[in-house]
Amino acid sequence: MANLPLKNKLALVTGGSGDIGAAIARRLAQAGAEVVVTYVGAKDSAEAVVHDIQQAGGQGHCRQLDQREPAAIESLMQDIEAHWQQLDILVNNAAWNIGIPFPNLDELTAELWDRVLETNLRGPFLLARAGAKLLQAGVGGHIVNISSAGGISPGSSSIAYSSSKAGLNHLTRCLAVAMAPKVAVNCIAPGLVENTRMAQRLPDNVAAGARRQAVLGLVGQADDIAEQTLTFVTSRSISGQTVVIDGGMPGVMR
Ligand SMILES: NC(=O)c1ccc[n+]([C@@H]2O[C@H](COP(=O)([O-])OP(=O)(O)OC[C@H]3O[C@@H](n4cnc5c(N)ncnc54)[C@H](OP(=O)(O)O)[C@@H]3O)[C@@H](O)[C@H]2O)c1
C-alpha cells in the first residue's frame, strides 16, 4: 500500500449509494483514502459499495444522511469528529432531480423547488460549513462539488435542478475564497453520464441530443467523474474551478 496518494486521508462522499458517488468512493479508496459514503434510503447500495472497497483491501464505511435536514448534517460531522478526528476530503455529490420540461412552469411547485434547492445547493453549503473546522485543521483539505452542465447552460431535468447547479458552481467559487488557504474547493459539471439512473430520468430526446452533439462522439462515464475528483484532491494548485465533463461541447441539454 506504499505510494498511495491518499494514504491516511479521510474522505466523505455524499450520495455514495448512487451511481457516480459509488464510482468516486471506489476510486478514492483505491488511491488509499478511508471513505465514508452516505445514503438516504438505499442502504443496500451503500453497503455494497463499502463491501467492494473492503474486498479490494480498502477501508469503507456508510452512514445515513438526509441533507435536507441541517441537524442531520451537524450530527454526521460530530460523528466523524468523534470517530476519526479528521476530515480531508468532502465530495458533495448527492443530489435530487425530477423531470419537468422547462415550459411546464405550473408543474414546478414551490415544494418541488424547495426540495431540489435544499438538497442540491443548501446541503453542500451546510456540509462545507459543518466540516470546515476539520477540513481546515489538516495539511490541505479539499472539497469537490458535483454539479451539472445544466448549471452552465439552461437545460437538464428541470429549471429548479438547472438553477440549483448554477448556484453550486458559484458556491464553489465563494467557498474557494472563504476556505483559503487551507482548503481547495473545486467542481465537476457532468453532462449526460451514461448508465446512470439520473440520466434515465432525462427525456429521451435530451439524452439523444447530448450524445449526438458531443464532439468526441461519446459522453462521460461515472469513472470519468471519479478520475477528475482524484485529480482535484491530489492537486494543491487549483481552487475555485469547474470542469465540464460532457464529451465536448454538446450544446444545451433540452
Ligand atoms: N447521472 C447523470 O447523468 C448526471 C449528470 C449531471 C450531473 N450529475 C450529478 O452527479 C451527482 C450524482 O448523480 P448520480 O447519477 O449518481 O445520481 P443517483 O444515482 O440518483 O444518486 C443520487 C444520490 O444522492 C442521494 N440523495 C438524494 N437525495 C438526498 C438527500 N436529500 N440527502 C442526501 N442524499 C440524497 C441518493 O441517496 P439514495 O440512493 O439513498 O436515495 C443517492 O446516493 C449528482 O450531483 C447529479 O446531479 C449526474
Dist. CA 95 → ligand 1 center (Å): 4
Atom of ligand 1 nearest to the CA of 17: 43
Identify the bridge partners of residue 62 per DSSP, sorted by sequence position.
37
Dist. CA 83 → ligand 1 center (Å): 26
Report pTM. 0.97
Whole-number average pLDDT of the chain: 95
pLDDT tens-digit series, residues 205-232 = 878 888 888 999 889 999 999 999 999 9
Dist. CA 221 → ligand 1 center (Å): 14
CA nearest ligand 1 atom 20, residue: 198
Atom of ligand 1 nearest to the CA of 39: 40
Is the pLDDT assigned to residue 61 strictly greater than 90?
A: yes
CA nearest ligand 1 atom 36, residue: 15
Q: Which residues are catalytic?
A: 161
Domains (range + CATH), the chain = 10-245 (3.40.50.720)
Cell readout for 168 is 453550486
157 within ligand 1 shell (Cβ under 6 A):
no
Q: How far is residue 172's CA from residue 136's CA, in Å, rounded to a whole number? A: 16
Nearest CA to 34 among 99, 96, 83, 106? Answer: 83
Cβ–Cβ under 8 Å, residues 236 and 200: no
Please tell me the predicted confidence (pLDDT) of residue 238. Answer: 98
Q: How far is residue 239's CA from residue 187's CA, in Å, rounded to a whole number? A: 9
Dist. CA 28 → ligand 1 center (Å): 18
Atom of ligand 1 nearest to the CA of 190: 6
Is the pLDDT assigned to residue 203 strictly greater than 60?
A: yes
Q: How many CB atoms lie within 10 A of CB 121?
A: 24
Q: How far is residue 199's CA from residue 62's CA, in Å, rounded to a whole number? A: 24
151 within ligand 1 shell (Cβ under 6 A):
no
Out of 119, 143, 196, give the residue to mutate to test ligand 1, the one with the largest number of ligand atoms within 8 Å of its CB.
196
246 within ligand 1 shell (Cβ under 6 A):
no
Dist. CA 64 → ligand 1 center (Å): 14
- What does the pLDDT average to over 36-65? 98
Please tell me the predicted confidence (pLDDT) of residue 72. Answer: 98
72 within ligand 1 shell (Cβ under 6 A):
no
**What band does 187 get if pLDDT is binned at 50, 70 and 90?**
very high
158 within ligand 1 shell (Cβ under 6 A):
no
More confident residue, 60 or 213: 60
Atom of ligand 1 nearest to the CA of 43: 40
